[in-house]
Amino acid sequence: MRHVIDVANLNKSFGPKHVVRDFSLQVREGEIYGFLGPNGSGKTTSIRMLCGLLKPDSGSGTCLGYDVVRETAAIKCEVGYMTQRFSLWEDLTIRENLDFVARMYGMKDRASAVQQTLSNLALLKRQDQLAGTLSGGWKQRLALAACMLHRPKLLLLDEPTAGVDPQARRDFWEEIHALAAKGMSVLVSTHYMDEAERCHRLAYIAWGKLLATGTPSEVLHLFPLVTWEVSGSPARLAELNGRLKGQPGVSHVTAFGNTLHVTGEDETALEKAIASHRMGLQWQKTQPSLEDVFIHLMTSNAEAAP
């Protein structure tokens, strides 16, 4: 498969703050690539460099075959970029919003393109509704429609499901997988681990530095992690959390609803650390989750934090 994104050693600073450090990424045609990382990690800045909205300070590469430094205008014409916040016009209807976007792109067949997009994304019944009156899920669908209007070859989606309900998130991902099945390439940033598991490949970035890439399965096996799931009364779990953090053999302790995940890299050392805390609690060895791996990445690279 050819690469729709192929960049190496991109850097971007704002004043004294080095936001993106030696960022390299390859995304294949027809792939859904998950882009993960905490707030302020450099995800949005990286995406904006890829779609031609920001010029890298250094580094090189291509997006859809165009140079990310010299051919940004060409990239913008063939990329659909969905921002974190709803950025369309709330006092226009759904159809009026799409028609206005089509005019901005200078589309000669804008009427048919708008009609087709309304139909493809199930917006026809709401086409005369003001955008400002839409729920979060329908605003999200409208924003995706605006991205798709000019028939892009690549979608860059920046936390597209933030703030929408679970059903809207599920519907959105059904749409993304349908698009990928037709050959669309998608780079999507998200904080949700269940969404990360639905991607073909993942990249994890923190403090402007790429820490891990691979399929969800490959990322899960980056480290020889051992995880125990502990259940019990909330008070006992809170006490256990405080006692185990920082203990030799314990990499991190994380609350998951009514349970704790106690994780370490050395099984023997972890067993020793938890041996005196087993009474009155239920302990079960479990498979580390993606969230366990990403928390481990964060703690093991904490020295890179500004």
> pLDDT band at residue 223, thresholds of 50, 70 and 90?
confident
Average pLDDT over residues 117-142: 89
pLDDT of 42 > 70? The answer is yes
Model confidence pLDDT, tens digit, residues 234-280: 889 999 999 998 899 998 898 888 899 999 999 999 999 999 998 88
Q: At residue 131, does pLDDT exceed 80? A: yes
> In the prediction, which pLDDT does 222 show?
84
Check residue 303 and give its pLDDT: 57
* CB-based burial, 230-266: b 16+ in 10 Å, e otherwise: bebeeebbeebeeebeebebbbbbbeeeebbbbbbee
Binning pLDDT at 50, 70 and 90, where does residue 68 land?
Answer: very high
Nearest to 41 by CA among 145, 158, 201, 150: 158
Give me the pLDDT at residue 41, please: 86
**String of DSSP letters for the chain:** --EEEEEEEEEEEETTEEEEEEEEEEEETT-EEEEE--TTSSHHHHHHHHTTSS--SEEEEEETTEETTT-HHHHHHHEEEE-SS--S-TTSBHHHHHHHHHHHTT-TTHHHHHHHHHHHTT-GGGTTSBGGGS-HHHHHHHHHHHHHTT--SEEEEESTTTT--HHHHHHHHHHHHHHHHTT-EEEEE-S-HHHHTTSSEEEEEETTEEEEEE-HHHHHTSS--EEEEEES-HHHHHHHHHHHTT-TT--EEEEETTEEEEEES-HHHHHHHHGGG-TTSEEEEEPPPHHHHHHHHHHHTGGG--
Identify the structural domains of the chain with CATH numbers, from first to last.
Answer: 3-215 (3.40.50.300), 226-287 (3.30.70.100)
Tell me the pLDDT tens digit for each residue of 153-206: 999 998 888 777 788 888 888 889 988 998 899 999 988 888 899 999 999 998
Q: What pLDDT band is residue 306 in, cutting at 50, 70 and 90? A: low
pLDDT band at 304 (very low <50, low <70, confident <90, very high): low
Which phi and psi angles does 201 have, rounded to 5°?
-140, 165
- Buried/exposed code over 27-40 (b: 16+ C-beta within 10 A; e: otherwise): bebbbbbbbbbeee
**Looking at the predicted structure, is the pLDDT value of residue 4 above 70?**
yes
pLDDT of residue 99: 93
Distance, in Å, from the CA atom of 306 to the CA atom of 303, rounded to the nearest integer, reads 8
Average pLDDT in the chain: 89
pTM of the model: 0.85
C-alpha 214/C-alpha 296 separation (Å) is: 16
pLDDT band, very low/low/confident/very high, at 21 (cuts 50, 70, 90): very high
> Is pLDDT larger for residue 256 or for residue 284?
284
| CA–CA distance, 241 with 149 (Å, rounded to integer) | 50
pLDDT of residue 302: 63
